[in-house]
Chains A and B, each alone.
Chain A
Amino acid sequence: MSAIELRGVTKGYPPREPGLPAQELLRGVDLTVQRGEFVAVEGQSGSGKSTLLHLLGGLDREFDGTAHVLGCDLRAVTDAELAALRHTQIGFVFQSFNLLPSLSALENVLLPDFFGDGVPDAERRAREALERVGLADKERARPVALSGGERQRVAIARALLARPPLLLADEPTGNLDAKTGQGVIDLFRQLHREGMTLLIVTHEARVSHAANRVLVLREGVLQTEGAESMETE
């Protein structure tokens, strides 16, 4: 069974002003990602990459077409079921880290444990996750006391807490210097080797090089790298 299955997904926004055409960020996107794949989606700013990611994470349900993630029909399930899917099955990593400034690094990693039925053995897992991203000694630090690279690693540790089978990342190295970014890419490679499915939207070639499949979003149309349009199995 595939991890992600999109068929004819179209996502648009109403025109900004009367008389102007409606904005279409995704146009009839078809996409299949097998479990264990590492897929990079490239595209220029405004090409719909983040929209695609939000849609795959069940954060945006206003679209046409069908979308199945880990066997879950995103348009058929309830809000609570979607929340549960995000809680246990999907890890998110954002370009701007999105850590809660009032919480320590450890508490930020533990954030998924605050919701739903919590995460089994959460504290131990959180410490392991921090250790894995090399921040075992920073668990009490607030985000403001961490560097950009450290914040992103805390965000990755948070995404790994529930040990989700799918990781969605939005420009995860966008705000990092080359060296720190490379560290994050290496971490993604390692997660991929461990069997995790990764879909990363990026406009950085070095991230794409790490993936085993690269797709390009151009004006809402998803294409394989170098092709006019794509559909891949």
Chain B
Amino acid sequence: MRVGKLIRLARGNLVRELGALAVSAGGVALGTGCLVFFLALGTGLQDVVHDVFPVSTREVEVVVPQLAIGSLLGEQKIDEATVRRLRAVRGVAAVYPKMQLRIPAVSRYNGTFFGREMRVGLEVVATGLMPELVGPDARMPFDDRGESQPIPVVINRRLLELYNKVFAPQRNLPRLTDSMLIGFQLPVELGRSFMTSRTLPNPQDTSMLVVGFSERATLAGVSMPLAAIQRINRKYGADADTYSSVLVRAQNADEVTDLAAAVRKLGLEIDDTERRYAVQIGAAVELVTLALSLLAALITGLAAVNTMQAFYASVRERTREIGVLRAVGATRGDVAAVVLVEAAATGLAGGAVGVALARIAAALLDRLARTGLPDFPFKPTTFFSFQPGHVAVGLGVALLAALLGAFLPARAAARLDPAKALTES
């Protein structure tokens, strides 16, 4: 029996039993809709987690162990030799050492700040990054031009988000954007601290020039070119030879485990705080998504039972028709196929409606969140991420539920004794 003819035959029955099958399709739509909704919500929340804790599967942050025999003896450090050893580790694609600013520095701002008078003083925390690591995130040159020039800095975008969503509203300060800040200069006094005891002799007035926003930049403070940090540390007699940490990039994600083991063999440690946060929160989101998806699967299962009842009733009502089909040459398989095609159409229709309902519900919820929720940091524009895979899963589950539900009725139809079926009143 050819598919086109099968569909043509099933179509007539579907139209005739539209009412009963619409109820079945509605059940499938509800289950599928919930499933797709929760999957999209789970993916959307995972995206938010990735935004807040962006982790690369190819990179690890190497640090000196906080408690190690070597460190107690003063031997454990990350210097040029360590960096060379890390570069030589198998599977390493690149190594980017980082260094903290090891002297105090303050920034005092007293003047008009984007239309508002502002008087503020901050201790400056800075980390030195290699310009190659920042790459195109820096819109202006990110290299050390010497003492007489402003120090280029990149800022973590998450810091800007926290400023805009928490700091600025509380202090009635203007909200800032990338374009407003790039090229903006802030005064900085190197060697000075708000705690007098920490202030060094010969503090130097200079300025910081915002050149870009980068996820590579430190979350606590600003990031400067590594060479600038080394120059300043050296000038004030601070350690300018050992690094605070090293970002190691593997050639591919599969090699990260071996790479981490090699790093530990060198007596160093992997700082995976952010990764752990991301993994833990991601796992929690996955767990909740799984639980809600199981609930949706249960609803779909109930829809399958409803489909089964509907098709049993349909087969009972069409007993004589099934006898006629057998009389004109249909095999048992043909009869089962007709019922299953009807079920497939019911399931797919339910699935399509379910996917549409999920999208509508998500849009409504996003709208509600936009208008009803306060503007907290990292608040996403949407909590949902609908992927083609979700639609495929939704339609697949709907199809499967309908086919499973119709399986027994189809088998019963196929097993009908045609002679008895033809005498059915």
Nearest CB to that of A93 among chain B residues?
B327
Across the interface, do B329 and A60 meet the contact criterion of CB distance under 8 Å? no
Find chain B residues with CB under 8 A from A158 CB. Answer: 328
Find chain B residues with CB under 8 A from A55 CB. Answer: 419
Find chain A residues with CB under 8 A from B423 CB. Answer: 50
Check A114/B16 contact, CB under 8 A, given A54-B422, A80-B331: no
A-side interface residues, number (CB < 8 Å) = 31
Identify the stretch in B6-14, B157-165, B182-190 within 8 Å (CB) of chain A at 4 or more residues.
Answer: B6-14
Find chain A residues with CB under 8 A from B419 CB. Answer: 51, 54-55, 59-60
Task: Decide if the interface of chain B is mainly helix, strand, loop or mixed.
Answer: helix
- A107 close to chain B: CB less than 8 A: yes
Alpha-carbon gap, A60 to B331, bound state (A): 14
Across the interface, do B418 and A116 meet the contact criterion of CB distance under 8 Å? no
Across the interface, do A115 and B13 meet the contact criterion of CB distance under 8 Å? no
Alpha-carbon gap, A50 to B423, bound state (A): 9
Nearest CB to that of A159 among chain B residues?
B328
Find chain A residues with CB under 8 A from B326 CB. Answer: 59, 83, 86
Across the interface, do A107 and B329 meet the contact criterion of CB distance under 8 Å? no
| CB under 8 Å from chain A, chain B span 314-365 | 320-321, 323-332, 334
- B171 close to chain A: CB less than 8 A: no
- For the complex formed, measure the closest distance between the CB of B263 and the CB atoms of chain A, giving whole angstroms: 68
**Contact among B5, B320, B332, B418 for A114, CB-based, below 8 A:** B5
Which of A55, A98, A115 counts the most chain B CB atoms within 10 A?
A: A115
Find chain B residues with CB under 8 A from A102 CB. Answer: 12-13, 15-16
**Contact among B1, B5, B327 for A86, CB-based, below 8 A:** B327
Find chain A residues with CB under 8 A from B334 CB. Answer: 83, 114-115
Find chain B residues with CB under 8 A from A88 CB. Answer: 329
Check A87/B16 contact, CB under 8 A, given A59-B418, A100-B321, A115-B1: no
- A103 close to chain B: CB less than 8 A: yes
Across the interface, do B331 and A79 meet the contact criterion of CB distance under 8 Å? yes
Chain A 99-143 near chain B by CB (<8 Å), digits 1 or 0 = 011110001000111111010000000000000000000000000
- The contact size tier of chain B is 20 to 34
- A149 close to chain B: CB less than 8 A: no
Across the interface, do A113 and B1 meet the contact criterion of CB distance under 8 Å? no
Alpha-carbon gap, A23 to B418, bound state (A): 20
Across the interface, do A115 and B422 meet the contact criterion of CB distance under 8 Å? no
Find chain B residues with CB under 8 A from A115 CB. Answer: 1, 325, 328-331, 334
Across the interface, do B13 and A84 meet the contact criterion of CB distance under 8 Å? no
- For the complex formed, measure the closest distance between the CB of A61 and the CB atoms of chain B, giving whole angstroms: 9
- A94 close to chain B: CB less than 8 A: yes
Find chain A residues with CB under 8 A from B6 CB. Answer: 114
Alpha-carbon gap, A100 to B334, bound state (A): 16
Find chain A residues with CB under 8 A from B2 CB. Answer: 118
Alpha-carbon gap, A55 to B417, bound state (A): 12
Check A84/B417 contact, CB under 8 A, given A50-B423, A113-B5, A114-B9: no
- For the complex formed, measure the closest distance between the CB of B327 and the CB atoms of chain A, giving whole angstroms: 5
- For the complex formed, measure the closest distance between the CB of A69 and the CB atoms of chain B, giving whole angstroms: 14
Find chain B residues with CB under 8 A from A54 CB. Answer: 418-419, 422
Across the interface, do A83 and B331 meet the contact criterion of CB distance under 8 Å? yes
Chain A 169-191 near chain B by CB (<8 Å), digits 1 or 0 = 00000000000000000000000
Across the interface, do A100 and B12 meet the contact criterion of CB distance under 8 Å? yes
Alpha-carbon gap, A162 to B419, bound state (A): 21
Find chain A residues with CB under 8 A from B328 CB. Answer: 86-87, 92, 111-112, 115, 158
- For the complex formed, measure the closest distance between the CB of B133 and the CB atoms of chain A, giving whole angstroms: 68
Across the interface, do A59 and B327 meet the contact criterion of CB distance under 8 Å? yes
Across the interface, do B16 and A86 meet the contact criterion of CB distance under 8 Å? no
Find chain B residues with CB under 8 A from A80 CB. Answer: 331
Nearest CB to that of A155 among chain B residues?
B324
Alpha-carbon gap, A158 to B325, bound state (A): 12
- For the complex formed, measure the closest distance between the CB of A49 and the CB atoms of chain B, giving whole angstroms: 12
- For the complex formed, measure the closest distance between the CB of A81 and the CB atoms of chain B, giving whole angstroms: 10
- A57 close to chain B: CB less than 8 A: yes
| CB under 8 Å from chain B, chain A span 46-86 | 50-51, 54-55, 57, 59-60, 79-80, 83-84, 86
| CB under 8 Å from chain A, chain B span 382-425 | 417-419, 422-423
Alpha-carbon gap, A111 to B5, bound state (A): 9
- For the complex formed, measure the closest distance between the CB of B270 and the CB atoms of chain A, giving whole angstroms: 66
Across the interface, do A114 and B417 meet the contact criterion of CB distance under 8 Å? no
| CB under 8 Å from chain A, chain B span 1-57 | 1-2, 5-6, 8-9, 12-13, 15-16
Alpha-carbon gap, A110 to B31, bound state (A): 38
Which of A87, A98, A114 counts the most chain B CB atoms within 10 A?
A: A114
Find chain B residues with CB under 8 A from A113 CB. Answer: 5
Across the interface, do B12 and A60 meet the contact criterion of CB distance under 8 Å? no
Which of A92, A101, A102 counts the most chain B CB atoms within 10 A?
A: A102
- For the complex formed, measure the closest distance between the CB of A54 and the CB atoms of chain B, giving whole angstroms: 4
Check A83/B321 contact, CB under 8 A, given A60-B417, A107-B12: no
- For the complex formed, measure the closest distance between the CB of A122 and the CB atoms of chain B, giving whole angstroms: 10
Alpha-carbon gap, A100 to B320, bound state (A): 10
Find chain B residues with CB under 8 A from A87 CB. Answer: 328-329
Alpha-carbon gap, A84 to B326, bound state (A): 10
- For the complex formed, measure the closest distance between the CB of B39 and the CB atoms of chain A, giving whole angstroms: 37
Alpha-carbon gap, A80 to B5, bound state (A): 19
Pick the 3 closest A-B CB pairs, nearest first. A87-B329, A102-B12, A60-B419
> Contacts A83-B326, A98-B324, A102-B16 given; 6 further ones with Cβ under 8 A?
A55-B419, A59-B323, A102-B13, A102-B15, A107-B12, A162-B329
Q: Interface residues, chain B, CB within 8 Å of chain A?
A: 1-2, 5-6, 8-9, 12-13, 15-16, 320-321, 323-332, 334, 417-419, 422-423
13 A-B pairs with C-beta separation under 8 A: A50-B423, A54-B418, A55-B419, A80-B331, A83-B330, A88-B329, A92-B328, A98-B327, A114-B1, A114-B9, A115-B329, A116-B1, A162-B329
